[in-house]
Amino acid sequence: MPKAKHKAKTKSLKPAAPASASIITIDPPRIIRPPSKFIVDTIFPAHELHIIGGPAHGGKTTLLYQMADDLHAGRNIFGYVSHYEPFCFISCMHSGSACRNSIAKLDAPFPWYSFVDNAFTGEEVDKKIDKIKQVCDVAMRLVPDVRIIFLDGLMRLFDGSITDNSSVGKFLSFLIRTLQERDLSMIATGRAAKPKEASNGFRSIDRFLGCTAWTELSSTFMAIEPVRNASPLDPRRTVTLMPKYAAASFHHFKFSGDGRLIEAITGDDGTTPERIDVFANVISVHEGGERISTSTLLEIGKELDIPKSTIKRYLGVMLKQGRLKDAGHGWYRIPNSPSTIQ
């Protein structure tokens, strides 16, 4: 009897329908960073770029020197607590002799370097040299454990068109990445158009020379300007502080006879900004931690022939500077003197 033929069984090539539709995603590798740090609480986060802008001869360099001096001495900056870390001052705008003269006016010297006296390596033959790297390398040679660079003349590091947002954006992005990779922070000066060079109604931040990328990529922008642009002899200056993550504020200064910026007291009583130092020196005879009443402070002002209204403004400035502490209604406390870091 012939065997029955069996058909060969073949597997179906039709794919089985999935039980349920789903989307599979792969998370990018997580970068673990240390908690955010600040050079100055609230306004100057670490590992970022902070810019001082203003017209020529407006006080940018002086402000930068004095901020370095305040950090060095452990003083408040714009009323906020500063946190000392090793730093150096690098100038791309002034000679070594000018740097020495400026530092001589401060409380204590600190490491500095001038790229005016010492040109960038290769600058004469190649405009595309890495000036950012050279600045960081010089800073690390000056201070091996450097964490903050005070740079006078940010635009000297950029050889492209300062009006090209794309080029400036790439340059600043690379600069900020370099700061983060090297655990550095930078406070730098840059040029801004004079008020008469800008359209009426423009804010200081909009007048920064070139394009918006300079200010958009900086973490905090500070604009220092004369109070009266038509009067070059007027020593008064206004600093507009514009942090990205805090409220903006105005701060008033005056140039003293020796070229320092002194916190000015707004008002029309004719008192000079130097008087606040006289008042502060009298109070400094009290020991750190001691409480002192408002009435006592007003009496001290009376003996110095300083109006009561001015003394009240002095107290507000001294609170902001950290030279006094609020100890409750009607009382202040003398702070313990911060030790100057040598």
How do residues 231-274 score in pLDDT, each as one tens digit? 778 888 989 999 988 889 888 888 888 888 888 765 544 445 56
C-alpha 134/C-alpha 3 separation (Å) is 91
Tell me, yes or no, if the two domains 38-263 and 275-333 fold the same way: no
pLDDT of residue 309: 76
Q: Where are the beta strands (DSSP E) in the chain?
A: 38-40, 44-45, 49-54, 87-91, 112-114, 148-152, 185-191, 220-226, 236-243, 249-255, 261-263, 291-293, 325-326, 331-333
pLDDT of residue 300: 82
Poorest-pLDDT segment among 24-33, 213-222, 299-308: 24-33
User: pLDDT (tens digit, 9 = 90+) per residue, 121-131?
Assistant: 887 766 668 99
Mean pLDDT of 34-59: 88
Q: What are the distances in angstroms from CA 169 to CA 3, 182, 232?
A: 84, 20, 34
Banded model confidence at residue 194, pLDDT cuts 50, 70, 90? low
Q: Where are the domains of the chain?
A: 38-263, 275-333
pLDDT of residue 209: 59
Q: Note the CATH architecture for domain 275-333.
A: Orthogonal Bundle (1.10)
Shortest CA distance to 112 belongs to which of 74, 153, 73, 149?
149
CATH of domain 38-263: 3.40.50.300
C-alpha 164/C-alpha 210 separation (Å) is 7
Poorest-pLDDT segment among 40-49, 115-124, 189-198: 189-198
CB 185 within 8 A of CB 44: yes
Average pLDDT, the chain: 80
Six token digits for residue 181: 């990779």
Six token digits for residue 273: 């900004």
First to last CA, the chain: 113
User: pLDDT (tens digit, 9 = 90+) per residue, 30-39?
Assistant: 444 454 589 9
C-alpha 223/C-alpha 194 separation (Å) is 12
- Enter the DSSP assignment of 48: S
> pTM of the full predicted structure?
0.71
pLDDT of residue 208: 61
User: pLDDT (tens digit, 9 = 90+) per residue, 89-116?
Assistant: 999 999 999 999 999 989 889 999 999 9
Banded model confidence at residue 29, pLDDT cuts 50, 70, 90? very low
User: pLDDT (tens digit, 9 = 90+) per residue, 298-331?
Assistant: 888 877 777 777 787 778 777 877 778 888 888 8
